[in-house]
């Protein structure tokens, strides 16, 4: 199941790090910075790990996980924060999906399309 996902970026409150997939280096610097801020602020606010990942059809998912022993992780807050991001950053997220579909799926990276 995980093989069908392509991670765009993510952040971890546990390791205090931000990851950006180098396959997406052609994205504008401003977009990369916005993604960095989005991910880090999310994990600082609710905790856990946030990943932005594309499925095999090019849909962008915001995936959150936490460690079982993390009693400070705000599960309800994470759901609400994702809904807020999806509303406030709708244009950015849709643009990223279009970018992925054109430059990755159209070029034969997806066996399903």
Residues 11 and 18 sit within 8 Å (Cβ to Cβ): yes
What pLDDT is attached to residue 22? 97
Those residues with Cβ within 8 angstroms of residue 14's Cβ, 6 or more apart along the chain or in another chain: 48, 49, 67, 70
At 31-89, the pLDDT tens digits run 999 999 999 999 999 999 999 999 999 999 999 999 999 988 999 999 999 999 999 99
Q: What is the pTM of this model?
A: 0.88
Ordered by start, the domain boundaries in the chain are 2-107
Q: What is the mean pLDDT of residues 91-107?
A: 93
* pLDDT band for position 11 (cuts 50, 70, 90): very high
């Amino acid at each position: 199941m995980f093989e069908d996902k392509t991670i765009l970026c993510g952040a971890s409150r546990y390791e205090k790090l931000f990851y950006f997939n180098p396959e997406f280096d052609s994205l504008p610097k401003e977009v990369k910075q916005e993604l960095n801020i989005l991910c880090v602020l999310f994990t600082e606010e609710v905790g856990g790990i946030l990943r932005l990942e594309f499925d095999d059809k090019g849909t962008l998912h915001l995936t959150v996980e936490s460690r079982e022993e993390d009693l400070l992780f705000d599960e309800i807050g994470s759901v609400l924060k994702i809904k807020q991001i999806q509303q406030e950053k709708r244009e950015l997220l849709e643009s990223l999906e279009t970018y992925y579909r054109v430059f990755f799926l159209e070029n034969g990276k997806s066996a399903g399309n």
